[in-house]
Structure 1
Amino acid sequence: MKRNTTPVYYGDYLQLDKILGAQSLQSKHYGDPAHDEMLFIIVHQVYELWFKQILHELNAVISVFNQRQIPDQSLIEVVHRLQRINQIQQLLNDQISVMETMTPQQFLSFRDYLVPASGFQSIQFKRLEISLGLKREFRIDFDKQSFYNRLSQDDRELLEALESKPSLFELVEQWLARMPLLIKDEFAFWQHYKQAADASLQADRKIILSNDTLTAKEQQQELNDLTATEENFAALFDKTAYQKLNDEGTFRLGHEAMMALLFIKQYPEEPIFNLPFQLITALTDIDEKLTIWRYRHAMMVQRMLGTKIGTGGSSGHHYLKKTTESNRIFTDFFNAASFLLPKDMLPALPNSVKQYFGFYK
């Protein structure tokens, strides 16, 4: 590695003159500048800088998954980059506490000068959502209608082009579906798994029926919930039934991908599944952190504006609260826990299979 031949000066390298000179208060055009507008600008500028880094990491991950074959060495780097994204998200969530040091009246001292600017117009955040897998068809109705309304023509064209490219969700789904590990030699895992699952569900039904602390209404509700879980379990072993639930939105992952996901999550300690399990965990963490960010953002907006509309014309807190649960991406990774069984109920892997999963003969 060569050393630099030209001296580098700290401020020049970071272009601090541009960064530190980029805080122009809108309130100063209408009278005395609002003191807290500086905080508002800097917090959002920092968000955008971190969004840029997240996109930098995310695009590298997508490039790896856009290949037909993914070497283990590449998967190690992917997991590392996803974990870095997760740590950045933690910073973004913590940053809301800094914003909340501003009182509602301090925010109102400059808020009306920002109309019609809105977080809707953060192109980097929209790129992040689309790249992860939150494309237009998966958004709540209000979000579908307003997604492009407040954007410039160039920004609309950029995002529409991105919508046509495979997202990380789609690429990971294809990767899971390609895993050839569901049947090895004469060991049919799913036949054994179904027997164990049926036994587990029957035990759950007995617990509900014998629970004297439940009222009749509570017992019926728990039985209804169990019946729904049983139907979802049954669909795992019936591709037609699974496809129906997939079409209805109960599942987003295709059948092959879901089965591979469950296999990995059931046996994460097997060496061959260690990196895939870390990958699944990292994506689950990213979706969780994104959901927490949406929730905290919604609570902050309610704290600042109550039921007032947002600066961009949205319904403010009400809209943000709806997106918290609705605009999820890797929900199937969370809900897969519904199908996991205790270790002592899982079918034992034959030695030939364990040797195959352990990379030795």
Structure 2
Amino acid sequence: MSDEKTRSGCPFTGGTSGGDDLPPAGERLTYNSYLKVPQLLELQNFESSPPAHDELLFIIIHQAYELWFKLILFELDQVAEEMDNGEVYEAWRLLQRVLQIEKLLVQQIHVLETMTPSDFLKFRQALNPASGFQSIQFREVEFLTGIRDTSVMRHIDQTDQDHRRLNARLAEPSLRTRFYQLLQREGFDVAIPEEGEVLEGERREQTMAALEPLYREPKERFHLYTLAESLVEHDQNILLWRFHHVRVVERLIGTKPGTGGSSGVEYLSSTLKKRAYPILWEVRGQLYDDGMYGMK
């Protein structure tokens, strides 16, 4: 029998069934050692006593979120670099990965609805005062995207490392700023808002007028248009995640205060107004339809 026919193992690694050329078992790289699976499975520690059955679900859901947030930040940092370099297609391509992850995150939150309110109450008090509000990585995603509500900093229990990370994000240009800079380099007469600024008056009108041709004739600058719409979709996905999160929390705790001291559903509902790219949302309202209502 030929060597080719006796080969076995993972087809993606070209592994073999054994041989003198392999390191001893326990020293060679495996699926478990590469992914640190044993260490990963040791990270789910119950706070409730006696352990509540559904606490494991709660822990894994939120740990999974933090892993996805890590990847989102990794990709968005590269998107920012590609925009700085004028690589519009590559910025768009990497954003598509982020958008797919975000769609997954919206669906993932609903797994928590397999808990009943009474199931959650069996361990909820053990979480206090921890809260999803305190997720440093989610705040990084917001700051990098262009949502610069710095008031949240006062309510997050931060380590020195957390404080440095968040301030580093606030010190760098957001994706919104980088996109407007890219548009200027591409010949669009847009105003570049300060971080956290809402454009108003003449600067707003100037920017809306500059963006209108991009949306009226998207095929003329298709890569820029699809990048703009991907940023809008990224903004939308964050809004959708917030909305679904609010509804799940409402089903589990009703009008109770949040574990971190917030007003709970009332506070979460107030975040649904946050948008990173309001002008990109509004510019489509400037378009006209020659065939409708006699408008020209």
Give the alignment's TM-score, normalised by structure 2. 0.82
Mapping of residues 169-248 of structure 1, within 5 Å? 169-180=176-187
The answer (yes or no) to whether the contact 2:133–2:156 under 8 Å persists in 1 is no
The residue aligned with 1:160 is 167
Write the letter of the residue equivalent to 2:71: Q
Q: Distance in 2 between matches of 1:22 and 1:125?
A: 20
Q: Does 1:103 align with 2:137?
A: no
The answer (yes or no) to whether the contact 1:48–1:124 under 8 Å persists in 2 is yes
- Which secondary structure does the structure 2 equivalent of 1:22 belong to? coil
Tell me how far 1:157 sits from its aligned partner.
2.8
Which stretches in structure 2 are left out of the alignment for 5+ residues?
1-13, 16-21
Q: Does 1:328 align with 2:278?
A: no
Mapping of residues 5-24 of structure 1, within 5 Å? 8-24=29-45
The residue aligned with 1:130 is 143
Tell me how far 1:305 sits from its aligned partner.
1.1
The residue aligned with 2:261 is 313
Q: Distance in 1 between matches of 2:261 and 2:216?
A: 47
Q: Does 1:51 align with 2:64?
A: no
- Which secondary structure does the structure 2 equivalent of 1:130 belong to? helix
Q: Distance in 1 between matches of 2:34 and 2:59?
A: 23
Tell me how far 1:257 sits from its aligned partner.
4.2
Tell me how far 1:63 sits from its aligned partner.
1.4
Q: Distance in 1 between matches of 2:132 and 2:197?
A: 32
The residue aligned with 2:91 is 78
Which stretches in structure 1 are left out of the alignment for 5+ residues?
138-143, 183-235, 346-361
Residues 248, 40 of structure 1: alpha-carbon distance in 2 compared, 3 angstrom cutoff: closer
Q: Distance in 2 between matches of 1:336 and 1:180?
A: 18
Highest relative contact order (Cα 8 Å, sep 6+), 1 or 2? Answer: 1
Tell me how far 1:55 sits from its aligned partner.
0.6
Q: Distance in 2 between matches of 1:310 and 1:299?
A: 14
The answer (yes or no) to whether the contact 1:79–1:279 under 8 Å persists in 2 is yes
The answer (yes or no) to whether the contact 2:69–2:137 under 8 Å persists in 1 is yes
The answer (yes or no) to whether the contact 2:109–2:244 under 8 Å persists in 1 is yes
Q: Does 1:339 align with 2:289?
A: no
- Which secondary structure does the structure 1 equivalent of 2:43 belong to? coil
Tell me how far 1:247 sits from its aligned partner.
7.4
Write the letter of the residue equivalent to 1:268: P
The residue aligned with 1:60 is 78
Q: Would you say how many aligned residue pairs link Structure 1 and Structure 2? A: 267
Q: Distance in 1 between matches of 2:98 and 2:254?
A: 31
- Which secondary structure does the structure 2 equivalent of 1:154 belong to? helix
Root-mean-square deviation (CA, aligned residues, Å) is 2.8
Q: Does 1:287 align with 2:294?
A: no
- Which secondary structure does the structure 1 equivalent of 2:262 belong to? coil
Q: Deviations over 1:89-119 (max 9, x none)?
A: 0000000111111111111100000111111
Q: Does 1:90 align with 2:97?
A: no
The residue aligned with 1:26 is 47
Q: Distance in 2 between matches of 1:265 and 1:343?
A: 15
Tell me how far 1:130 sits from its aligned partner.
0.3
Q: Deviations over 1:154-183 (max 9, x none)?
A: 31232122211101011111222333267x
Residues 82, 329 of structure 1: alpha-carbon distance in 2 compared, 3 angstrom cutoff: same
Q: Distance in 1 between matches of 2:268 and 2:238?
A: 13
